């Protein structure tokens, strides 16, 4: 998929979850990505985030880290 | 089955706990207080002659045929308007009343054409029946005097005629239009002998008549008669089935003569419609036998080639071979399928099963993605299940009705009539919509508040309403304490009280005066029974899911959940949106909304299906299209959805379809999507289907085959054949067997079977051991998820903004006579009312651009442009334009964008920044990408 689409979707999810504080928002965004996104979409966004962290909302980055940690567990 | 005649008790049933006991012709009968003598007699098995009375209308007492004698009372009162009183002794057959009835009938017949043998209603005429019942043998008055026998016939309506010469002026049609439909298009003009029924002094076609058919249904003579009956003759047998248009899901009696469908008559026993209908369900079914239907499978190697007509076997083998080749070359995840909300639960279930078990992935989605997916997300998150809370009847107990982003009188007309009935009785009305829909001001109805918000600011408005309710101490603390999660409530309470959520702070954004929001909030909170009804004007936004949760918050905060008259109720767009979602059409859920990652649930499916299933979510429709454009997604099975016309950003959809190596379309017609298809599998119309639809109130209704499949197969059989050819054998002997499997695997459907539905008519899920006859109202004592979950719902403006280049905001919707992409209604006489999409524009915006009413304009957004006629009107405010998407020639979705709901990717159809400019070009020259040919080679 086009990375522009994935980043826009992820940013939008983050913004709409930001009313509850950053920690809770990270938790919710991670859960959302795991529930609704395909593994390939999450992997693609994670790959992009490695080189473009400054372009992504910290909540998105936090959510990707949370998913990575869950995956490794 | 023979022709089904439903009982007519003469007057409506009284609703009262108190009863009275009366004696009618020596028979004791106990009835609710308020019951008419006529109805009591009917319930005792006696039939009192009548003409102006019917049990769908309030008693009128004009025909004087139902006269009875009552002991101790003078005269001969009309039994229809006389309520039963305790101990009343009624005699319906006495020499006196029999003589009076004959005299009355004699007067009627003296001014009625004596053409019974050639009359189209011969055998189905209450006047004829009653003449026999009262024993009329002669007419002493002659026929030479003044009469109406030469009165003209109005045949202007395409579906029914009005033969005034046969009219007995019983006013049933006028009252049906008033009481049932609520349009008040008909009236009695003139006085005395000159009295006659008139659609406002104009022809029916030019009048305000909406062709719902209620007047035709009510007419006791051949005055108002379906043209199909006049042409084909009186039907002789009935098949009970369900309409395939909107999410109201009206029950109909399909009436046939031999194997030919003559008319569709709404069923009084239908739980959703209770005898009412709209112009689409009642009359616009001719598409099912339209010559455009393709009845044989077609294949082609490339979309630039002509179609080849082939056998079913060859088409299935072709499709299976190509799918397998594509998966071998590009991976398991390179293919997927889309289920249709137009199809039955059984047809949908087997498609998602094929994708999960035979394709080996979860790349299945449904057209509900582009309409009500935010409803599923929002209501599941807050209440615990993805469905509306009430049955349709519930609105009769509402004191305050809030209509948000819905236009029930056009898009859900039968429910709209039900709602209007309650509003005429005095319920208060709040409309939240950028447009002035009909409900805002219609006969005997005026909205208390029309919050005419800027498109895209729904969440801000509902947050502001909740803010007022919290700030002014209007929260139902007891309900919240008893029923809702206290931690989530505390979070929400803190959030909603913030100053940025006040109506005053948001006024500049929403365009709604703060005072109006405050007043509307107080009205909603005061109820006592306040109900929210909403449509795609809520869901098709970048914050569609947030908005659904914001409405759920509002209902929970005020205790408006869990009883009659309240609730949060989606008005579903298509006939089986609810069902297609229930059946596991979403890529992350099995049937019954259980996530594919749930090992226990997945194991149940794996065991019964004998296949290993994936536990990770698949692609949504927009994901599939995006991945197709980038070359990762190669093949798509599309069941009954015209994505090339209905989905947003047509250029993008066309590019995606064109990039795929295989597109399989299963449909009635070679639609826009079929231009990009390699395999066309002819589908069946609702008149050929055997199965069930689930409507917006979770009502599961039977769809019964009225005629044999014109393709030789049921659609589920075709899916089974394809699955089998792919290496995963699927076989069912009947649609009933599929429902049995659904019931086995889906807790909310556990008690559902064709046998039960045939026995009781319909049930609303959950239908299981706890609720063997279904559940009309949900969340009565507890929410499905346990405690209600308040959600923080910050308003986030859409990225789609008006700019200097695109200064107007476009929003889209439907009209009454057309339906969605028009594939059905464009192939009926409904085009006589609406033959092209038009652009509604405010006078100020039109004048500023030099646009005259009725002239061609170019409608352009940043993604595309199209051409249509302008209609200058004040339904839209300055800065907002509106159009429909019924015709491919205008293709409104050429201009809608890729923006979508953050949670579900439901497209943001309702907000597109556009510019409108005059043009000399006609339609068909819009800048849509060039589509491949779709000619058929034999």
Which member of B546, B616, B794 has the closest CB to residue A38? B616
Interface contact A20, partner B, CB < 8 A: yes
Q: How confident is the model at residue B936 (pLDDT cuts 50, 70, 90)?
A: very low
* Domain contains B821: yes
* Domain contains B863: yes
B889 by Cβ neighbours in 10 Å (0-12 / 13-18 / 19+) ranks as: middle
User: Using an 8 Å Cβ cutoff, are B739 and B598 in contact?
Assistant: no
Q: Which residues in chain A (30-49) have CB-CB distances under 8 A to chain B?
A: 32, 35-41
Per the listing, tokens 């409309």 go with B431
Interface contact B732, partner A, CB < 8 A: no
User: Using an 8 Å Cβ cutoff, are B839 and B885 in contact?
Assistant: no
User: CA-CA distance, B130 to B47, in Å (whole number)?
Assistant: 11
The domain locations on chain A are: 3-72
User: CA-CA distance, B284 to B209, in Å (whole number)?
Assistant: 16
pLDDT single digits (tens) B778-837? 999 999 999 999 999 999 999 998 999 999 999 999 999 999 888 899 999 999 999 999
Question: What sections of B134-218 are H helices per DSSP?
Answer: 172-175, 214-218
CB atoms closer than 10 angstroms to residue B499: 9
* Domain contains B278: yes
Question: Closest Cα of chain A to B541: distance in Å?
Answer: 13
What are the two backbone dihedrals, phi and then psi, of residue B484, each rounded to the nearest 5 degrees? -120, 155
User: Which residues in chain B are closer than 8 Å to A43, comparing Cβ atoms?
Assistant: none
pLDDT single digits (tens) A13-35? 999 998 888 999 999 999 999 99
Mean pLDDT of chain B: 95
Q: Which is it for the CA torsion B271, B272, B277, B281, positive or negative?
A: negative
* Domain contains B637: no
Which member of B587, B627, B794 has the closest CB to residue A1? B627
pLDDT single digits (tens) B460-490? 999 999 999 999 999 999 999 999 999 999 9
Interface contact A68, partner B, CB < 8 A: no
Whether residue B43 is found in the same domain as residue B157: no
Q: Which is it for the CA torsion B768, B772, B775, B778, positive or negative?
A: negative
Contact at CB, A16 and B905, closer than 8 angstroms: no
User: Using an 8 Å Cβ cutoff, are B556 and B549 in contact?
Assistant: no
Interface contact B490, partner A, CB < 8 A: no
User: CA-CA distance, A31 to A27, in Å (whole number)?
Assistant: 6
User: CA-CA distance, B122 to B234, in Å (whole number)?
Assistant: 8
ipTM for this prediction: 0.96
CB atoms closer than 10 angstroms to residue B607: 10
Q: How confident is the model at residue B931 (pLDDT cuts 50, 70, 90)?
A: very low
Which residue from B916, B913, B645 is spatially nearest to B801, judged by alpha carbons? Answer: B913
Whether residue B80 is found in the same domain as residue B168: no
Which residue from B303, B262, B267 is spatially nearest to B285, judged by alpha carbons? Answer: B262
Whether residue B405 is found in the same domain as residue B477: yes
Contact at CB, A1 and B626, closer than 8 angstroms: yes
Q: How confident is the model at residue B932 (pLDDT cuts 50, 70, 90)?
A: very low
Determine the pLDDT at residue B933.
32
User: Which residues in chain A are closer than 8 Å to B793, comparing Cβ atoms?
Assistant: 19
Contact at CB, B617 and A1, closer than 8 angstroms: no
Q: Tell me if residue B855 falls in helix, strand or coil.
A: coil
What are the two backbone dihedrals, phi and then psi, of residue B813, each rounded to the nearest 5 degrees? -170, -160
Per the listing, tokens 């089955």 go with B1
Q: Is the pLDDT of residue B96 over 90?
A: yes
pLDDT single digits (tens) B866-921? 999 999 999 999 999 999 989 888 888 889 888 999 999 999 999 999 999 999 87
Q: What does the DSSP 8-state code read for residue B103?
A: H
DSSP B18-81: -EEEEEETTEEEEEETT-BHHHHHHHTT-----SS--TTS-----S--SB-EETT--S--BTTT
Torsion angle of C-alpha atoms B302, B308, B314, B319, degrees rounded to 10: 30
Whether residue B76 is found in the same domain as residue B156: no
Whether residue B438 is found in the same domain as residue B496: yes
Contact at CB, B617 and A35, closer than 8 angstroms: yes
Q: Is the pLDDT of residue B26 over 60?
A: yes
* Domain contains B620: no
Per the listing, tokens 């582009």 go with B370
* Domain contains B159: yes
Which member of B629, B632, B794 has the closest CB to residue A18? B794
pLDDT single digits (tens) B510-569? 999 999 999 999 999 999 999 999 999 999 999 999 999 999 999 999 999 999 999 999
pLDDT single digits (tens) B661-717? 999 999 999 999 999 999 999 999 999 999 999 999 999 999 999 999 999 999 999
Per the listing, tokens 């209501």 go with B379
Cis peptide before B654 (omega within 30 of 0): no
Instruction: Find the closest chain A residue to B619 by CA distance.
Output: A38
Contact at CB, B905 and A9, closer than 8 angstroms: yes
Whether residue B71 is found in the same domain as residue B220: no
Determine the pLDDT at residue B923.
65
Selected for mutation to probe chain B from A24, A38, A40, A70 (highest B CB count within 10 Å) is A38
B75 by Cβ neighbours in 10 Å (0-12 / 13-18 / 19+) ranks as: exposed
Interface contact B632, partner A, CB < 8 A: yes
CB atoms closer than 10 angstroms to residue B426: 7
Determine the pLDDT at residue B937.
33
Q: What is the CATH number of the domain that holds B479?
A: 3.40.228.10
Whether residue B86 is found in the same domain as residue B162: no
Whether residue B154 is found in the same domain as residue B266: yes
* Domain contains B844: yes
User: Using an 8 Å Cβ cutoff, are B908 and B798 in contact?
Assistant: yes
Determine the pLDDT at residue B528.
97
User: Which residues in chain B are closer than 8 Å to A18, comparing Cβ atoms?
Assistant: 794
Per the listing, tokens 């009280």 go with B497
Interface contact B751, partner A, CB < 8 A: no
Contact at CB, A16 and B491, closer than 8 angstroms: no
Interface contact B798, partner A, CB < 8 A: no
Q: Is the pLDDT of residue B47 over 70?
A: yes
User: Using an 8 Å Cβ cutoff, are B182 and B153 in contact?
Assistant: no
Q: Are strands B187-189 and B89-91 parallel, antiparallel or unpaired?
A: unpaired
User: CA-CA distance, B246 to B262, in Å (whole number)?
Assistant: 22
Determine the pLDDT at residue B300.
98
Which residue from B519, B524, B607, B587 is spatially nearest to B558, judged by alpha carbons? Answer: B524
Interface contact B507, partner A, CB < 8 A: no
**Mean pLDDT of the region B924-934:** 39
pLDDT single digits (tens) A53-69? 999 999 999 999 999 98
Interface contact A3, partner B, CB < 8 A: no
User: CA-CA distance, B428 to B416, in Å (whole number)?
Assistant: 15
The domain in which residue B70 lies consists of 19-93
Cis peptide before B216 (omega within 30 of 0): no
Q: Tell me if residue B615 falls in helix, strand or coil.
A: coil
Tokens representing residue B104 in the block: 């009355």
Which one of B510, B541, B570 terminates a domain? B570
pLDDT single digits (tens) B356-411? 999 999 999 998 998 899 999 999 999 999 999 999 999 999 999 999 999 999 99
Q: How confident is the model at residue B121 (pLDDT cuts 50, 70, 90)?
A: very high
* Domain contains B1: no
Which residue from B578, B616, B134 is spatially nearest to B379, judged by alpha carbons? Answer: B578
Determine the pLDDT at residue B144.
80
User: CA-CA distance, B326 to B679, in Å (whole number)?
Assistant: 15
pLDDT single digits (tens) B599-608? 999 999 999 9
Which one of B543, B570, B597 terminates a domain? B570
Q: Report the run of H or E that residue B141 belongs to, with start and end.
A: none
Tokens representing residue B862 in the block: 């940043």
Whether residue B547 is found in the same domain as residue B439: yes
pLDDT single digits (tens) B196-230? 999 999 999 999 999 999 999 999 999 999 999 99
Instruction: Please state the domain count of chain B.
Output: 4
Q: What is the CATH number of the domain that holds B85?
A: 3.10.20.740
What are the two backbone dihedrals, phi and then psi, of residue B897, each rounded to the nearest 5 degrees? -105, -175
Determine the pLDDT at residue B782.
96
Q: Euclidean distance between the first and final Cα of chain B, in Å?
A: 39
User: Which residues in chain B are closer than 8 Å to A27, comparing Cβ atoms?
Assistant: none
Instruction: Find the closest chain A residue to B617 by CA distance.
Output: A38
Whether residue B85 is found in the same domain as residue B144: no
B26 by Cβ neighbours in 10 Å (0-12 / 13-18 / 19+) ranks as: exposed
Determine the pLDDT at residue B938.
31
Q: Is the pLDDT of residue B13 over 60?
A: yes
pLDDT single digits (tens) B129-156? 999 999 999 899 877 888 999 999 999 9
């Amino acid at each position: 998929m086009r990375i522009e689409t994935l980043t826009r979707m992820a940013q939008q999810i983050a913004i709409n979850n930001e009313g509850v504080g950053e920690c809770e928002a990270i938790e919710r965004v991670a859960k959302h990505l795991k529930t609704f996104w395909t593994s390939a979409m999450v992997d693609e966004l994670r790959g992009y985030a490695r080189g473009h962290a400054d372009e992504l909302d910290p909540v998105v980055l936090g959510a990707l880290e949370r998913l990575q940690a869950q995956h490794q567990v | 089955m023979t022709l089904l005649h439903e009982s007519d008790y003469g007057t409506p049933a009284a609703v009262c706990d108190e009863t009275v006991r009366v004696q009618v012709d020596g028979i004791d009968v106990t009835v609710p207080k308020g019951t008419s003598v006529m109805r009591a007699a009917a319930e005792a098995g006696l039939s009192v002659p009548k003409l102006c009375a019917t049990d769908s209308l309030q008693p009128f007492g004009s025909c004087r045929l139902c006269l009875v004698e009552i002991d101790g009372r003078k005269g001969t009162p009309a039994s229809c308007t006389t309520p039963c009183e305790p101990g009343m002794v009624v005699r319906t057959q006495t020499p006196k009343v029999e003589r009076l009835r004959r005299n009355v009938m004699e007067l009627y017949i003296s001014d009625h054409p004596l053409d019974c043998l050639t009359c189209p209603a011969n055998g189905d005429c209450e006047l004829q029946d009653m003449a026999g019942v009262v024993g009329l043998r002669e007419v002493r008055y002659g026929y030479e005097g003044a009469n109406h026998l030469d009165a003209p016939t109005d045949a202007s309506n395409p579906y029914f005629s009005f033969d005034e010469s046969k009219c007995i002026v019983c006013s049933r049609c006028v009252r049906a239009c008033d009481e049932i439909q609520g349009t008040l298009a008909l009236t009695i003009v003139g006085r005395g002998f000159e009295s006659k029924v008139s659609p406002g002094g104009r022809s029916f076609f030019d009048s305000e008549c909406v062709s719902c058919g209620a007047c035709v249904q009510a007419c006791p003579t051949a005055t108002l008669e379906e043209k199909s009956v006049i042409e084909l003759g009186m039907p002789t047998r009935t098949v009970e089935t369900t309409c395939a248009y909107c999410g109201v899901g009206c029950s109909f009696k399909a009436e046939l003569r031999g194997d030919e469908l003559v008319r569709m008559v709404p069923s009084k026993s239908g739980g959703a419609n209770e005898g009412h209908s709209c112009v689409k369900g009642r009359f616009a079914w001719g598409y099912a036998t339209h010559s455009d239907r393709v009845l044989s499978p077609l294949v082609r190697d490339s979309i630039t080639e002509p179609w080849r007509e082939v056998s079913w076997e060859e088409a299935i083998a072709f499709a299976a071979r190509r799918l397998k080749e594509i998966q071998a070359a590009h991976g398991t995840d390179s293919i997927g399928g889309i289920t249709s909300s137009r199809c039955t639960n059984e047809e949908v279930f087997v498609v998602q099963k094929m994708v999960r078990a035979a394709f080996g992935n979860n790349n299945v989605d449904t057209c509900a993605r582009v309409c009500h997916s935010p409803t599923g997300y929002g209501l599941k998150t807050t209440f615990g299940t993805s469905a509306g809370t009430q049955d349709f009847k519930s609105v009769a107990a509402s004191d305050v009705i809030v209509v948000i982003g819905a236009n029930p009188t056009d898009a859900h007309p039968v429910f709209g009539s039900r709602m209007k009935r309650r509003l005429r009785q005095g319920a208060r009305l709040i409309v939240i919509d950028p447009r002035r829909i009909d409900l805002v001001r219609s006969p005997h109805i005026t909205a208390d508040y029309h919050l005419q918000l800027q498109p895209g600011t729904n969440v801000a408005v509902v947050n502001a309403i909740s803010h007022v309710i919290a700030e002014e101490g209007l929260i139902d603390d007891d309900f919240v304490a008893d029923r809702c999660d206290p931690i989530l409530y505390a979070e929400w309470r803190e959030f909603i009280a913030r100053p940025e959520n006040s109506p005053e702070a948001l006024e500049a954004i929403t365009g709604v005066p703060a005072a109006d929001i405050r007043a509307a909030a107080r009205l909603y909170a005061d109820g006592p029974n306040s109900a929210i009804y909403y449509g795609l004007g809520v869901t098709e936004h970048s914050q569609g899911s947030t908005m659904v949760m914001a409405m759920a918050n509002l209902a929970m905060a005020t205790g408006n959940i869990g009883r009659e008259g309240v609730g949060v109720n989606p008005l579903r767009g298509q006939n089986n949106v609810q069902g297609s979602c229930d059946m596991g059409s979403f890529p992350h859920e099995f049937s019954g909304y259980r996530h594919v990652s749930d090992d226990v649930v997945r194991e149940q499916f794996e065991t019964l299906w004998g296949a290993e299933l994936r536990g990770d979510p698949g692609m949504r429709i927009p994901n599939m299209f995006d991945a197709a454009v980038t070359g990762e997604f190669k093949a798509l099975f599309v069941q009954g959805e015209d994505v090339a016309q209905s989905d947003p950003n047509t250029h993008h959809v066309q590019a995606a379809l064109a990039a795929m190596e295989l597109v399989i379309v299963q449909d009635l017609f070679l639609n826009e999507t079929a231009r990009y298809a390699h395999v066309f599998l002819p589908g069946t119309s609702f008149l050929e289907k055997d199965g069930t639809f689930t409507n917006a109130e979770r009502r599961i209704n039977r769809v019964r085959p009225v005629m044999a499949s014109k393709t030789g197969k049921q659609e589920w059989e075709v899916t089974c054949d394809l699955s089998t050819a792919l290496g995963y054998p699927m076989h069912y002997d009947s649609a009933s067997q599929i429902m049995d499997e659904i019931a086995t695997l889906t807790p909310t459907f556990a008690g559902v079977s064709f046998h039960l539905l045939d026995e009781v008519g319909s049930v609303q899920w959950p239908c299981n051991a706890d609720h063997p006859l279904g559940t009309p109202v949900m969340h009565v004592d507890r929410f499905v998820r346990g405690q209600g979950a308040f959600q923080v719902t910050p308003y986030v403006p859409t990225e789609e903004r008006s700019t200097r280049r695109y200064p107007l905001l476009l929003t889209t919707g439907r009209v009454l006579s057309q339906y969605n992409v028009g594939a059905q209604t464009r192939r009926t006489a409904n085009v006589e009312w609406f033959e092209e999409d038009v652009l509604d524009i405010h006078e100020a915006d039109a004048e500023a651009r030099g646009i005259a009413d009725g002239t061609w304009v170019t409608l352009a957004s940043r993604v595309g442009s199209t051409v249509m006629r302008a209609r200058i009107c004040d339904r839209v405010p300055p800065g907002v334009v509106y159009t429909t998407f019924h015709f491919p020639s205008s293709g409104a979705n050429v201009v809608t964008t890729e923006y979508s709901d953050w949670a579900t990717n439901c497209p943001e159809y309702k907000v597109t920044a556009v510019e409108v400019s005059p043009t000399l070009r006609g339609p068909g020259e819009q800048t849509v990408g060039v589509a491949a040919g779709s000619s058929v080679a034999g």
